[in-house]
Amino acid sequence: MMGNGKNELMGPLVTGYKSYILIGVLLLVSLPLILAYSTLIITSFANTIVSNPWVKFNFTFDNWIAFFRGELSTTHARIYSTGEILRMIGNTIIVAAGVTAVVLGGSATSAYAYSRMKYRWRKGSLKLLLLLHAFPGVALIVGVYTIYYYTLVKYIPPQSRTLYSFFFVILARASLEIPMSIWILKGFFDRVPWELEWSVLIDGGSRWTAFRHAVLPLVKPGIAAVAIFAFLAGWEDLIYVMIFLPPNQKTLATFIEGQLASGSLETSYLPIMAAAGTLYLLPTILFFIFTQRLLLETMSGGLKG
């Protein structure tokens, strides 16, 4: 884990006025980041783009209302219905939830096997997982799309194609998260003492019983961490959703992408996009607020491999 840290035993290394200078420098370096994010969020509640501190603006919910009403142009023409906007949000949730389920289902038992069992190829395949995690995704997507398109055209009747594309995009996107998720979960399994399972096995229970009833309840934080990362991965995806889902099935990502790629965006319309973007950013922010330590620790553990 992250060590017991120095701070319990001694204070911070830099104190007094020097620490204020250092924090000042850090703030300055972080300024573009702070400015860029606050532009997005404040603009979503303003009647104009609030791109700098000197802009005068009025607080308003109009952008949010316009977004949910589908009024996406200056003339207040309704380009989408409210139902269609909700559908986009629903699609984003379906993909994110689907990816979460597939990642958990695909990684939990394997992580247990890597943590507890000895078999041929164990080390070799662990290495392979690490290589796969860093594998050029763009080389995969060409092959994955070919398989998708081939099977779609050859075997899937037209009325089932939308369902098939959702099914495929969820499996394909989730697979990208599988190698790292196994590594992260293995780390959590490694920390569970083995005596509990031992007693289950001694009593004649199967490996599955030991896994399901003795170990799994003890790695709930690990499951939660992997679930959060998987959900955010499915939630944030643009490329896979854009390529695999039919054009009439939009998510928040492809909706924003479609609006900006058209190139005909008017300045007055940007605040409505800011509302869409802020809504889309919301789960990320919520996870940051509520699970900050879990995120940081899992990242350092997971990234270390």
What residues between 101 and 120 interact with other proteins by CB under 8 A?
102, 105-107, 109-110, 112-120
Shortest CB 163 distance to other proteins, Å: 18
Subset of 206-225 contacting other proteins (CB under 8 A) = 206-208, 211
> Residue 209: how many CB atoms within 10 A of its CB?
14
Among the candidate windows 59-67, 69-77, 123-131, 159-167, which touches other proteins by CB under 8 A?
Answer: 123-131
Q: Is 286 in the site for other proteins (CB under 8 A)?
A: no
Shortest CB 152 distance to other proteins, Å: 10
Q: Which residues contact 11 (CB under 8 A, 6 or more apart)?
A: none
Q: Which CB atom, from 71 or from 278, has the smaller least distance to other proteins?
A: 278
Q: Is 227 in the site for other proteins (CB under 8 A)?
A: no
What sign does the CA torsion over 25, 26, 31, 32 have?
positive
Structure-block tokens of residue 201: 């096995």
Among the candidate windows 33-41, 60-68, 71-79, 158-166, which touches other proteins by CB under 8 A?
Answer: 33-41
> Residue 181: how many CB atoms within 10 A of its CB?
28
CA distances to 217, 258, 300 from 98, in Å: 22, 23, 26
Q: How many residues bind other proteins (CB under 8 A)?
A: 126
Shortest CB 51 distance to other proteins, Å: 4
Structure-block tokens of residue 179: 């190698």
Structure-block tokens of residue 31: 């300024």
Q: Is 182 in the site for other proteins (CB under 8 A)?
A: yes
Shortest CB 111 distance to other proteins, Å: 9
Shortest CB 23 distance to other proteins, Å: 6
Give dist(CA 186, CA 274) in Å, integer.
39
Phi, psi of 71 (to 5 degrees): -85, 90
Shortest CB 43 distance to other proteins, Å: 7
Q: Is 28 in the site for other proteins (CB under 8 A)?
A: no
Chain-centroid distance, C-alpha 230: 5
Subset of 150-169 contacting other proteins (CB under 8 A) = 150, 153
Among 78, 127, 161, 220, binds other proteins (CB under 8 A): 127
Q: Is 94 in the site for other proteins (CB under 8 A)?
A: no
Q: How many CA atoms lie within 13 A of 179 on its CB side?
A: 15
Among residues 138, 141, 165, the alpha carbon closest in space to that of 151 is found at 165
Q: Is 61 in the site for other proteins (CB under 8 A)?
A: no
